[in-house]
Structure 1
């Protein structure tokens, strides 16, 4: 059996495009990558074979990207800026080993948390719109 090529998530980066360059989001602790789902559209008709439903492939959806991070409140927070812009933004995840995915998305949530006895954390959710582009860095 061949040895596994799996890598740790350590050194994965999440960045927001500002129109000129990508700005890396600091202290990200976890990233949920774009996923893929396809609708199944029913195509059953009155003469479908043996009374079985029929389906055809429908449209795809790349889902949501979620990041968890250490929350460092800042008046110039890049996620707050992306959220309040209320536009479709461009984002990039870069994995260790040189693969990245660039995608357009709408920031749908950003929530910080300040527990009394632990580090401050935050999570942000990005609804992907369109097809993500995968490439080598």
Structure 2
């Protein structure tokens, strides 16, 4: 059975971590869409957050991983796209719960704030944890409604 497609995007600050996670995903048998950036030259995180969110929301990838310096900016940009539920996480517990309770479809990481091993652990938890449904389903449905 093939694994789902995972899209990745990062700004210049997240470039190295994105590449490391991309290689890890490929080694584990995931299909990967690398949406850039492709160097450490300065770029604007909103452009990459939007591109990633649109890709996931359109169903071209089952999940996404967004990386910038703190993870904050790129997650804000991604969450502006309907159908995207980006969660900024800093540890395994938040990575697991963003899937279990919030059905997050984009994992956001801050390359300047967490180490490589923590990022790998977060990615693993994010990809392996199913949405619990149940009482959480109605709450998640409200995330797609206008305020």
Bin for the TM-score computed over the shorter chain: under 0.3
Structure with the largest fraction of strand: 1
- Larger gyration radius, structure 1 or structure 2: 1
Bigger relative contact order (CA 8 A; separation at least 6): 1
TM-score after normalising by structure 1: 0.24
Structure with the largest fraction of helix: 2
